[in-house]
Structure 1
Amino acid sequence: MAEHEQTADNRQGVVRDGAEKIKGIFSTQTVAKVGTGTTQRKTIQKTYWNVEELDDGEVSVQPLNRNYVPSGPKRNVPRDDFLTKFNPEPEFYISTVYPAIKEMDGAIVRGEKHRERGAAYSAEFEYQQAMAIDEENVRANFGLGLTYLDRGDQVKANDIFERLVGLEAAFDTEHKHLFNDFGINMRKNKMYDQALRYYLRAEELVKNDEHLFHNIARCYFEKGNVEECKKYLLKSLEVNPKLDASLKFWAFLKGRGLVAEGEGPNVAPGGKGGKPKGGSAGVNLDAAREDGEPKTGDNGAPKKPASSAPIKLD
């Protein structure tokens, strides 16, 4: 008899029997009545879902869109309810879902390669091809937004920003590097209001992240709001008193006489006048990078210096 593993929580716990977790494409059916009186008839509507069982025993389900790729918000279903209402569709995954995902991912990869070599219009085309399959795909939206920012096209970049700020998946840990690049590039394009709104949206979803607080402080400084800048820098240093980028930023503010006597951490002042750009004496805020941040990108190429400490969402 197989051993049983039990996960303790506030409920009775989930009993596992050694079976693999549920994962794959499943379907549900709903019956709807169409028409009235003698012309009334029943129709069966089939909905496809991408599902994955979680550690707590519940099952995360995400609908497939009209192009049959997972898209839109996820929700959790109790395991017993799932087993009652959902039916496996392995053949449908092989024949329909996998080819659609492969086509979309291929377009995104091509877009990323075009963007890396500066071919902005080719990158735009590929990202748009991917978004024609799934307009809410986070990688494609980030890629297209970054392409517009590379070109200095603030109008189109703002359209992408409006979409991204409404997608909770855009703030997931797996997208933290894209998230960071997008925020930095908005700030470089002087889209300070959008960058700040973007980071404040992240603050609603990610609690007590020192890198996020640092980036918010940076945006407030660019907007000329020193008090809010200091407030978020102190929040950053409260979470991580040794965060180098925030310590350097505080030293810069201190050097400009923007910090009161005895206020904040005791660091040597740095920087003389002007905004906190790379050329400021004693403090290079734009070149600040956490030691834990990879020195190479996902493709193994040397990573360009970030203009502020990278946000960490994990």
Structure 2
Amino acid sequence: MKGVFSHEQAATIGHGTTKRTTTSLQYVYVMEEQDEKYSVRVINANNLPTGEAEFISFDQLMHEYTPEPDFYHEKVFPAMRELGKTIARGERHLKNGEPYTAELEFLAALKLDEDNVRATFGLGLAYLERQQVEKADTVFQKLVKMRAAFEREHKHMFNAFGISLRRNRMFSQALKFYARAQQLCGADDHLMFNMARCLCDAGDNDGCCTYLRKALELNPNQKEAATMLRAVEKRKG
């Protein structure tokens, strides 16, 4: 289930004898998630869901929110569709080796929804492709603060961004990026392996071996980690 709902918000303004309570109507985009929870995101001035999601129960949804199907079909769905097309064009240009054109599409998308995860990742990748390290670092600083950037649905973009940071020799940023993922999502063998590769490229063989061993502790069958560990230990002598 997904759609737009309205929700009344109360706010107190003024002080003393002028103090009064007012109510305003807020439109939100609601999606059914796992474990009978519903994610709620605010609709912005461009009729797009934006920001970090809050989660409510079905009972809360039924008692505190009012369905707004006309608003969804007439305003929100068309805006979401156009935003999706803009981001898809950017991703296509990026895939075709056209980072400057991709950058323009992602910037256009972020004017509509400044917190869009796909567009933010795409913009960062376009900057990295063009080796615009300072601009890429600005995007990196934004991404590490966005919890949604580390959700499972964005994993392929997360992986591509981390690899691109490493290839541009932005090792401290790449390690911080992976550490943030570990903080939010927990450790897995692929994450440990990526951190090891980053440390290896940075010239830290001891740190590399440490994370390769952690990867193998989590998954003894990870052949890439085992092969790399043997090679790095041999190089260390």
User: Equivalences for 1:1-314 in 2 at 5 Å?
Assistant: 22-34=1-13, 43-258=22-237
Partner Cα separation in structure 1 for residue 136 and residue 210 of structure 2: 29
* Cα deviation, residue 216, structure 1: 0.8
* Cα deviation, residue 173, structure 1: 1.4
* Cα deviation, residue 147, structure 1: 0.6
CA separation of 1:37 and 1:127: change in aligned 2, threshold 3 A: same
Letter in 1 for 2:198: C
Partner Cα separation in structure 1 for residue 134 and residue 124 of structure 2: 10
CA separation of 1:58 and 1:120: change in aligned 2, threshold 3 A: closer
Partner Cα separation in structure 1 for residue 154 and residue 50 of structure 2: 16
Partner Cα separation in structure 2 for residue 110 and residue 23 of structure 1: 25
Partner Cα separation in structure 2 for residue 35 and residue 168 of structure 1: 35
* Cα deviation, residue 181, structure 1: 1.0
- SS, match of residue 9 in structure 2: strand
- SS, match of residue 72 in structure 1: strand
- SS, match of residue 71 in structure 1: strand
* Cα deviation, residue 257, structure 1: 3.1
Tell me the C-alpha RMSD between the 2 structures: 1.9
In the alignment, is the contact (CA less than 8 A) between 2:125 and 2:161 conserved in 1?
yes
Letter in 1 for 2:6: S
Any unmatched runs of 5+ in structure 1? 1-21, 259-314
Deviations 1:57-78 (A, max 9, x none): 3322222223221111112223
Deviations 1:186-227 (A, max 9, x none): 111110010010011111122231000001111222233323
Letter in 1 for 2:146: L
Partner Cα separation in structure 2 for residue 94 and residue 131 of structure 1: 22
Partner Cα separation in structure 2 for residue 175 and residue 54 of structure 1: 16
In the alignment, is the contact (CA less than 8 A) between 2:205 and 2:236 conserved in 1?
no
CA separation of 1:37 and 1:216: change in aligned 2, threshold 3 A: closer
Structure number having the greater helix percentage? 2
* Cα deviation, residue 41, structure 1: 6.7
* Cα deviation, residue 124, structure 1: 0.9
Partner Cα separation in structure 2 for residue 244 and residue 129 of structure 1: 42
Deviations 1:145-185 (A, max 9, x none): 11111101001111111111111111111111111111111
CA separation of 1:168 and 1:55: change in aligned 2, threshold 3 A: closer
Letter in 2 for 1:171: F
Deviations 1:239-295 (A, max 9, x none): 11121211121121122135xxxxxxxxxxxxxxxxxxxxxxxxxxxxxxxxxxxxx
- SS, match of residue 178 in structure 2: helix
Structure number having the greater strand percentage? 2
Any unmatched runs of 5+ in structure 2? none
Letter in 2 for 1:210: D
Partner Cα separation in structure 1 for residue 21 and residue 127 of structure 2: 48
TM-score, normalization by structure 2: 0.92
**Structure of greater Rg:** 1
CA separation of 1:148 and 1:252: change in aligned 2, threshold 3 A: same
- SS, match of residue 134 in structure 2: helix
TM-score, normalization by structure 1: 0.70
CA separation of 1:88 and 1:228: change in aligned 2, threshold 3 A: same
In the alignment, is the contact (CA less than 8 A) between 2:6 and 2:25 conserved in 1?
yes
